[in-house]
Structure 1
Amino acid sequence: MTKDLPPQQSTWRSQNEPGPSVSPPTFEESTGHLLIDFDQPDPPISTGDQEPPPDFTPYDAEFFVSSDGSIISHDPHLNEDGEALYRFLLSQANATPTYKLHCKGAHTENRTRLVNSTNSRGQSQTRTENYTETVTDFDFFINVNHDIPSRPTQWTLGDEEPAYRGRMIREAGIPVFTRKASRAEAKEAKVWRDEREAHGIPPWIAKASVQLLHPTIGMEMPLMRDVTKSSWTLRQWADDYCASPKYLKEFVYEKVLYGWNVGALTTAIHSAILSVHYTGNITVKFELSLNRVIVRPDTRLSRALSNRWLKFLLIITLIYPFIWLFKRFHSRGGGRWAIAGSAYALKKYTPLQDEEVDDSQLGRYGPRGKYVQTREGVQMLVGVREGEWFQRWEGTIRRAIAAKKVDRTPMEQPDDIPEYNTQVLDGYSS
């Protein structure tokens, strides 16, 4: 499929509309404050001798949070001006997604009850009925957001990775000439995506570039810095979306977390629950919400499809199948852009000069230490390791199960941290 190059800047904006007073900044100028510099953790990546981005009039786009935790906007300005859409996505990236651990245990019980009924002759009868009831033993949440220390990194998918690039099918190839991704390519990409998320690997890292034992330790710095894999910048993709005349198009910007081996951590929590001799059905999962930013046109039909009740009404009235066919097959029906996002590190390793390491800490090298020696030099841990997090919360999880805790409000701190001031007590040691 051949695409026209996206316009670099909208030229028809009226004077009353918010927007830049001069030509828009380049991608490197506008994202320099958000990209993580792995060589110099503080300050952020410099843009060299280039002038800073020009002043931009803030524009507050309207949006709402859907029932599934997605941030959805039908703001008309975001569908007409690529610069406004680009700035909106960057502003949304500053908000960290919500990350929670959900632990739930339940069991079934066979019970009996007496049921009164009246027969055809008007006589009252009482019979015994057996039924099964599900009993919730514990159901609680733990907030993990406190352990996300870093600012986000903007990333884009590579041209070779199957993704939605303006059509209703996954495509691969350079932006101007794309092709439909084969079923094998799509399946392989999904398997790697699931494996990558389970092991805490950044979304821009290719499969052949990592070892799954300790994937974020000693990873080559050029790989960690090469976060924009696409031939087009995020701004160009935003222009491409705004230039599309499709009625049911949508731009999806995804927020992801990386750094933790979530699969191993989930298994450890499951084992901790079993260790208190619980024999019911166990559910342990990390839930991510407010992690998708979706921009759709400002039309009645598009807004109706964003409302789950109206969409359900369209389904039961058999109208939605015709909408789906129009969206899927008509040339001006639907289109999806899902090729970019922001990544937040729960744990990462950053370069450190040898002279900055205290001699007493040099023994803390290796996968379980704070420092590791790699071909790129000494790297220092930033963030909290999943093992440290589990050790801090393990006792709280066990006690919550024993107490049959049922609470929808996430716990913010372990319950073994005193709420009173113990430092004034002579001889108290924590």
Structure 2
Amino acid sequence: MSSQSATVPCQYRTGRTLGSGTYAIVKEAIHIKTGKYYACKVINKKLMEGREHMVRNEIAVLKRISSGHPNIVTLHDYFETSHNLYLCFDLCTGGELFDSICARGQYTEADAAGLVRTIFQAVKYIHDCGIVHRDLKPENLLFRSKPEKTSEIMIADFGLSRVMEENKLSMLKEVCGTPGYMAPEIFKKTGHGKPVDVWAMGVITYFLLAGYTPFDRDTQRQEMEAIIAGDYKFEPDEYWSLVSDTARDFVATCLTTDPDKRPTAAQMLEHPWLASEIPHFVENETGEPRDLLPHVRKAFDAKKTFRKAVFGMMAMKRMSTLAHHMSPEAHKLNEDLYQFKQESEKEKFEDIRVVHHHNADEEQSLKSQDDISIAKGPNGKVSYGTDVSEKLAAVSLAVKSGSNPKSV
């Protein structure tokens, strides 16, 4: 892959840590010249050995869709130091989808339809770009700044997304996603593609109307079996009597168990619940739309409290089991994971120089080669010298047209 590289002073300042995942942390970053704030995903290179494809796929996806739709987070910068990879995204400060709903004074079926319509329009755009997201869920739906504005909802986290060609031979087989939102074909390993996002939107819509998901069960196995069978109900009646038949039909249509019969995102946007000029709702005593918020908040809070207690017990049991049965190698891996993430968090932008590789070649080259390569020495061990960055496709999307390298 032909590229130009330059080592330049970093022009971001380090901000607070916003969150942490399995292999990465997310920090706030401030661009010195513009004063703009970004969310910066920091990935320690020592954790990337054997996982280069994860970043390669995320970059391939984001190159196709960044800046193309107002409701999809944009990758603004991509660069590296000798220790870490940095991906700078839109900073969404309006909070997660459901937190914003619970903070409202009132929440009607029309509000839910407006959110679903906006999200589905972004999903259609993703699919039109040849992408399947594969991890649509409320936690990955964020508000840019104003949680009360439906137009500011954003789809985030494309770590599990893939570029999908338009033929059956390229269907994906791996089991991935968040269990309660995964489609039957993912569990059955029969091959999956864009229809899994439509299924997930059905689960999200159910969640938006009731405050809980349709396949909630006591165990993950029971949940999986319910999903494969399409076993769900619009119950209890005290919740669903407040929701129109049109909305229920919309959910049921998304949750078609056969992916070949499941409608596309474009077709779901034509469903009466989203396409009708007159909103659908159940009237209250005065003829106004029912307020769903009390029941939705009650169900959500009850489930959150229950899950917190269950996860707490599971964590204690797991820690006790691991303490007795974890091998020395597993102990070492666990310690290394913590240490490497700590190292990533401590690196200060103000003290570093960064490397950009501005690719002259576009997506075809990106798909045919690794974006990220971890350098190895003659003994096969990972080498963390300056050569580690030679094949890193660190893309500044603002200059991906092939202009001269410039500082970030």
TM class by smaller structure: under 0.3
- Structure 1 or 2: more strand by fraction: 1
Q: TM-score, normalised by structure 2?
A: 0.24
- Structure 1 or 2: more helix by fraction: 2
